[in-house]
Structure 1
């Protein structure tokens, strides 16, 4: 049996070894290395926010484009195409991530995103636009699986919730960037709108070049190496991280808070094992994850993908001004995870997840009734949505945190992908198409019904978390869900 943290190279099938890699990662003080991980990997959510907001902000311009001239229903369908691509990409790349490693896949997915986003700017009809949006979604979906798993595995346990919510919340930094860009590209005095909306997609894709440069400095997840029978490599990666942290910390690193884990070399998690864990051994966590993901996906995608259409159709806001209304909405969504995130590590997951889902659900139902009655101006509607999603944003981010923490390391990326895919398919793909159809009907009562449905689903998720939620704050990933390769005496 190898010494803890000192095994050399891989181990043979069935051999037992010890490693203190998890304890060493969790004891690290906060450092520049962690900021690098957040910047290089967390940018995924910023890109997703940019993509989604561009379509939302540019919806009217794309609708009015002489070369595309999409109907409101087609705009909703292209949003659904993006999400279909995200579902397929998440499943395919999630499967590869658990087998080939986090690092290899998050390079592949960002390249796919880059090329597809640029191609979107050269679309010539509905079908080409929808196809390129689907490919862009596939890249982003794959990113969710590879990046979420890598971040959770390299951030210390005491800050995992705070960081995960903040990183997911940066979706809205991208949304603000997309909204700000729309104000420029849709201003006919600055650029022809037909060129402007195309340029927005091309520039957005080109930003991925910076991401690839940053990711060169992010190592493979030591936890992934550990569970794949490569403790020597995992140890060397952590040695390098500790060396840099120690030099900047200026004093000895804190002591380990728990002991080594015993692992046995085994093959990849099989599909049968994954199904058995999700449907039998961890059935309650599966129900919880599905509910949280599906409900937040419907609420978010239904509202946000049709945000611009509501403002233009019911409040008469010019398409060139939509960005001014999305900016405060994006700011509220970004602020929610940043301000409430630390409470998920202090007060705890269960109380905070339940509270944020419930508050946003109740407010959504109330705002739907106010909209139906015609009580609000466009700005008052924007303020209402901003407040609602201040709470809904950390709730949605916590869904990703929950599914990532729920299952063993060997299937973490695939688990994230499965829940993201199911939640997106059930809540996300149907949501934009449904709301696009409701808006096209032109009756406020129809939209109010959509708001009530979204709010009711958030309340359902709150109740499910209260009943089935579990305590994961400040615990190691291995303590929450033992690796399949963990060796038990």
Structure 2
């Protein structure tokens, strides 16, 4: 199909240089790990932002006398921003490149994260949180896209799943920060929530500085060079040399065409796009329903202080990290599909067991709470959690930013709905209702994945583009 870049051959017709797609982790240079780390830190700041508002809400609800609707709107505000920012940044990234936008998107987090700690009322806080979300949305589109295009096919699953583990690290750091502030500023709750929200600006600034040294995506630049943008050829060759040690290395780019949204629906690709547009928002109802309100649920189930609720929530995420690393180890070995289905099934059963226990006992012993959420978080990140970034590999390079960005918009519908509805559900029908909602939605994810999820482990970009439009999904 003529879509591989820099496939030089000698007089006997044999390829010269390395095949980048077959490189293992030990062969990858420091620059690759540095690029992977800067993208992973996007997951870190997203998690920190999400979890820190969940912690701050414990203070904001009494201080601002928030209603259940206002609480839900604040929790959902950043998600609404993501729904706006992700497709806009993603679309521009397909047209002008990944690198500049990859640095610029977190400026929103720095500026409006800081301002969110200085507001004086609900409306101001909602607006600043919305604008923070727009920047985070840009990172939703760009970070997975860049890692998918920097990673060799042989270990792309590891690169993406391990990148997503930084969501867990950001969660742990977020809850430990909240715990430290709750202990040190417990006598001044108005200052505590302000410092919590403003602290995310520090992390955003750190990541911007780290990303200033990152080069353009080699696959995107190669396609643009084939379309006539000659200045992109050296740009792509420079990155390939940094990644593989040779400018003559073979790297799979996918078809060299101008980006068109129609490519998301070509042939049977519409089934892949539909699969993600349904899968991600439903998964996010289960994921964010627990992520945002873990301290709230934990406190409601028996832990009497905010600090204890934050500490217990951090412990859940320490357990969850082992789930991420299990996924990173096996995603390229046994495939994405079986791990997503298995993880979702266990999560659903776990929540239904929690509902049954709570329905019978009307109270949870502390150890039972810890066990319930530890299992839930481990299996969330054993399978479906890492897939929220891994499916960036599904779409062609030329339209990947748009594909991931639009998918993120649909995902935020689920996340925002969960953030908005959970407080009302708990208020109306108690914690048992929350368990049923979380369990039911994640069991739907398992069923949907069984019928429509494609397997793309170890496939090159050319192979994925050959396979998916033809409907070879399993």
Which region of structure 1 is more displaced relative to structure 2, 230-239 or 43-52? 230-239
Indicate how the Cα distance of structure 1 residues 63 and 20 shifts in structure 2: closer, same or farther if over 3 A, else same.
farther
In structure 1, C-alpha distance between the alignment counterparts of 2:85 and 2:16, rounded to whole Å: 34
Give the structure 1 partner of residue 61 of structure 2. 63
Give the structure 2 partner of residue 15 of structure 1. none
In structure 2, C-alpha distance between the alignment counterparts of 1:470 and 1:46, rounded to whole Å: 27
Whether the aligned pair in 1 keeps the contact of 2:86 and 2:134 (CA below 8 Å) is yes
In structure 2, C-alpha distance between the alignment counterparts of 1:21 and 1:296, rounded to whole Å: 42
Whether the aligned pair in 2 keeps the contact of 1:61 and 1:186 (CA below 8 Å) is no
Give the structure 1 partner of residue 472 of structure 2. none
Give the structure 2 partner of residue 94 of structure 1. 90
In structure 1, C-alpha distance between the alignment counterparts of 2:395 and 2:252, rounded to whole Å: 20
Indicate how the Cα distance of structure 1 residues 398 and 189 shifts in structure 2: closer, same or farther if over 3 A, else same.
closer
Give the structure 1 partner of residue 461 of structure 2. 477
Please tell me whether residue 468 in structure 1 is matched to residue 469 in structure 2.
Answer: no
Whether the aligned pair in 2 keeps the contact of 1:76 and 1:306 (CA below 8 Å) is no
Q: 2:80 aligns with which of 78, 84, 96?
A: 84
Deviation at 1:108, TM superposition (A): 1.6
Deviation at 1:211, TM superposition (A): 1.1
Indicate how the Cα distance of structure 1 residues 404 and 213 shifts in structure 2: closer, same or farther if over 3 A, else same.
same
Q: 2:130 aligns with which of 112, 134, 143?
A: 134
Give the structure 2 partner of residue 436 of structure 1. 423
Deviation at 1:328, TM superposition (A): 1.0
Give the structure 2 partner of residue 267 of structure 1. 258
Deviation at 1:148, TM superposition (A): 0.9
Give the structure 2 partner of residue 406 of structure 1. 394
Deviation at 1:359, TM superposition (A): 1.5
Indicate how the Cα distance of structure 1 residues 135 and 423 shifts in structure 2: closer, same or farther if over 3 A, else same.
same
Which blocks of at least 5 consecutive residues in structure 1 are unaligned?
8-18, 248-252, 485-489
Q: Deviations over 1:199-222 (max 9, x none)?
A: 222222122222112112211001
Indicate how the Cα distance of structure 1 residues 22 and 481 shifts in structure 2: closer, same or farther if over 3 A, else same.
farther
Which region of structure 1 is more displaced relative to structure 2, 416-425 or 287-296? 287-296
TM-score, structure 2 as length reference: 0.87
> Counterparts of 1:197-346 in structure 2 under 5 Å?
197-229=193-225, 236-237=234-235, 239-241=237-239, 243-244=241-242, 264=256, 266-269=257-260, 271=261, 273-274=262-263, 276-277=265-266, 281-315=268-302, 317-346=304-333
Q: 2:190 aligns with which of 185, 191, 194?
A: 194
Deviation at 1:395, TM superposition (A): 2.9
In structure 1, C-alpha distance between the alignment counterparts of 2:206 and 2:297, rounded to whole Å: 35
Whether the aligned pair in 1 keeps the contact of 2:52 and 2:174 (CA below 8 Å) is yes
Indicate how the Cα distance of structure 1 residues 259 and 105 shifts in structure 2: closer, same or farther if over 3 A, else same.
closer
CA RMSD of aligned residues (A): 3.1
In structure 2, C-alpha distance between the alignment counterparts of 1:262 and 1:139, rounded to whole Å: 28
Figure out how many residues of one structure are paired with residues of the other and give that number. Answer: 456
In structure 2, C-alpha distance between the alignment counterparts of 1:450 and 1:100, rounded to whole Å: 43
Give the structure 2 partner of residue 14 of structure 1. none
Whether the aligned pair in 1 keeps the contact of 2:296 and 2:309 (CA below 8 Å) is no
Indicate how the Cα distance of structure 1 residues 322 and 226 shifts in structure 2: closer, same or farther if over 3 A, else same.
same
Q: Deviations over 1:203-260 (max 9, x none)?
A: 221222221121122110011112223586555345444655677xxxxx7996x787
In structure 2, C-alpha distance between the alignment counterparts of 1:461 and 1:127, rounded to whole Å: 35
Deviation at 1:190, TM superposition (A): 6.9
Give the structure 2 partner of residue 377 of structure 1. 365
Q: 1:450 aligns with which of 420, 424, 434?
A: 434
Q: Secondary structure at the match of 1:170?
A: helix
Deviation at 1:49, TM superposition (A): 1.1
Whether the aligned pair in 2 keeps the contact of 1:37 and 1:218 (CA below 8 Å) is yes
TM-score, structure 1 as length reference: 0.85
Whether the aligned pair in 2 keeps the contact of 1:149 and 1:412 (CA below 8 Å) is yes
Please tell me whether residue 105 in structure 1 is matched to residue 101 in structure 2.
Answer: yes
Which region of structure 1 is more displaced relative to structure 2, 231-240 or 459-468? 231-240
Indicate how the Cα distance of structure 1 residues 245 and 22 shifts in structure 2: closer, same or farther if over 3 A, else same.
closer
Q: 1:459 aligns with which of 423, 426, 443?
A: 443
Give the structure 2 partner of residue 10 of structure 1. none
Whether the aligned pair in 1 keeps the contact of 2:5 and 2:222 (CA below 8 Å) is no
In structure 2, C-alpha distance between the alignment counterparts of 1:4 and 1:422, rounded to whole Å: 33
Deviation at 1:122, TM superposition (A): 0.7
Indicate how the Cα distance of structure 1 residues 235 and 129 shifts in structure 2: closer, same or farther if over 3 A, else same.
same
Which region of structure 1 is more displaced relative to structure 2, 168-177 or 225-234? 225-234
Whether the aligned pair in 2 keeps the contact of 1:76 and 1:305 (CA below 8 Å) is no
Indicate how the Cα distance of structure 1 residues 203 and 144 shifts in structure 2: closer, same or farther if over 3 A, else same.
same
Q: Secondary structure at the match of 1:229?
A: helix
Whether the aligned pair in 1 keeps the contact of 2:153 and 2:460 (CA below 8 Å) is yes
Q: 1:355 aligns with which of 322, 330, 342?
A: 342
Give the structure 2 partner of residue 144 of structure 1. 140
Indicate how the Cα distance of structure 1 residues 347 and 54 shifts in structure 2: closer, same or farther if over 3 A, else same.
same
Which blocks of at least 5 consecutive residues in structure 2 are unaligned?
9-14, 469-474
Deviation at 1:165, TM superposition (A): 1.2
